[in-house]
Amino acid sequence: MGTSDAKVAQPDVCSGGTFLVERSTCTGGNEPRPDHGSATRTGRSAMPATAWKEVVIDGKVKFKVPAHLELIKKVGSGAYGTVASFQDPKSGTKLAVKKITDAFHDLVDGKRILREVKLLRSFRHDNIISILDMYPPDHPDFDDIYIVTDLMETDLHRVIYSKQVLNDEHHQYFSYQILRGLLYLHSANVVHRDLKPANILVNKNCDLKICDFGLARGLGNDEDDPTLTDYVVTRWYRAPEVVLLASEYTKSIDVWSVGCILCELIGRKPIFTGKDHLDQIKKILAVVGMPSEEDLTWLPPRSPARNFIKKVPPCTKQSWKSVYPKATEAGIYAIERMLTFNPTKRATIPECLILPYYETLHMPDDEPVAETPVDWAFDKFTPTKRLLQNYIYAECWKFHPEIQQRDAKLLDSRGISELLR
């Protein structure tokens, strides 16, 4: 890809904060695909790790990791896993290890983890977290999953609520990199659907990677999983069409979330903090104003969603300048385009990238797209514990082929053998 350092306008130094914008770090195009077959990027030596040890995180969660790794600290816990950082003292390599305990207890959650693993393995982009390893299960009838990724220093939620100085250059650069990652993701026909500051990882040099693909979906897929509609995107970052229709998954919903994140970077608090569905719509309309008839044509005429909107007290549009008096004109316009109520009029990711706000960052020949769309065939099955275990086992085997021999006597009876090709 591009070797475009020369094209990057040298940023002013962001003095006063430890987050230094180093734009050239974003311009390397795609990273080389991790060599999934070898152990060299996993923090282990080139030899397969044979020794394992248990480390207790926070006095609660037991992690089984390669014996030579040293725990740095617990870095996070989300809805599904505990994440801890480790270091290989010899090479200095740092890793993030996410443990999902009892991963198959809930089949919907189990399928979500498989989806995340499959997607992360197929992506190759420097604004998307890459999967480096999956630790081998002890037995084909395992319950816990370990996913190893590049370690990032923190996430945007923590940055926003820290004392870090964040100036307009930071807002631009962070949101630009999210858009750059989304250009790739959307070109693979995948919608993230759960973009929020906690799912955006960053380093001190302002490098940024999108993580947490458990809710991601393909486009044009039949949504046959009704249990999922309830918790699409943490409410505050949900686009109006998601709140109102709950079944419409298009690329535009990610753009809305980026708009919410940009607002949160600028205002250092979430923009639309709805307490429930109706309140979410109320909070949105209190700022963007009551949509015109024309801006509601995407909603079916007699849908419950229309009545839902009618219940909201009349409200007029506020000027974004009054909401964010310190924002620049270009910043305000970017917010306006991303937080357009009507999804058919909202800017697309390519349109966002050419906004004046990103003028100094946008580099058309260094914004890679996916080579091929994601093939969602792997996702078309009704989950059972056995099937999920088998598919995850096969993913671990790709990193640790030695488990095939160890478990040779058991694989046929589990239906795993046919997956190991």
Ligand X SMILES: Nc1ncnc2c1ncn2[C@@H]1O[C@H](COP(=O)(O)OP(=O)(O)O)[C@@H](O)[C@H]1O
- H/E element, 210: strand 208-210
Which residue of this chain has its Cβ atom nearest to ligand X in the complex? 78
Q: Is 212 in the site for ligand X (CB under 6 A)?
A: yes
Q: Is 366 in the site for ligand X (CB under 6 A)?
A: no
Smallest distance, Mg ion to C-beta of residue 130, A: 17
Q: Is 148 in the site for ligand X (CB under 6 A)?
A: no
Q: Using CB under 6 A, which of 126, 155, 241, 395 touches ligand X?
A: 155
Piece of 146-154, 227-235, 248-256, 266-274 that binds ligand X (CB under 6 A) = 146-154
Piece of 74-82, 302-310, 336-344, 385-393 that binds Mg ion (CB under 5 A) = 74-82
Q: Using CB under 6 A, which of 11, 34, 81, 181 touches ligand X?
A: 81
Measured CA to CA, the distance from residue 41 to residue 149 in angstroms comes to: 10
Smallest distance, ligand X to C-beta of residue 207, A: 11
Interior/surface letters 34-60, b for 16+ CB within 10 angstroms, e for the rest: bebeebebbbbeeeebeeeeebebeee
List C-alpha distances in Å: 412 to 145, 277, 293, 420: 21, 48, 61, 11
Measured CA to CA, the distance from residue 23 to residue 124 in angstroms comes to: 20
Report which of 325, 322, 12 is spatially closest to residue 172, judged by C-alpha positions: 12
Measured CA to CA, the distance from residue 195 to residue 204 in angstroms comes to: 21
Q: Which is nearer to ligand X, 83 or 392 (CB)?
A: 83
Is residue 315 within 8 A of residue 268, CB to CB? The reply is: no
Q: Which is nearer to ligand X, 201 or 243 (CB)?
A: 201
Determine whether the annotation assigns residue 311 to a binding site.
Answer: no
Measured CA to CA, the distance from residue 47 to residue 42 in angstroms comes to: 11
Piece of 131-139, 144-152, 181-189, 217-225 that binds ligand X (CB under 6 A) = 144-152
Is residue 240 within 8 A of residue 341, CB to CB? The reply is: yes
- H/E element, 399: helix 385-399
Q: Is 198 in the site for ligand X (CB under 6 A)?
A: yes
Q: Is 119 in the site for ligand X (CB under 6 A)?
A: no
Q: Site for ligand X (CB under 6 A): how many residues?
A: 21
Contact pattern for Mg ion over residues 181 through 210, marking x by CB under 5 A: ------------------x-----------
The sign one gets for the Cα dihedral 386, 133, 177, 266 is positive
Which parts are annotated binding residues for ATP?
99
- What is the contact surface with ligand X in residues (CB under 6 A)? 75-76, 78-81, 83, 96, 98, 129, 149-152, 155, 198-199, 201, 211-212, 214
- What is the contact surface with Mg ion in residues (CB under 5 A)? 78, 199, 212
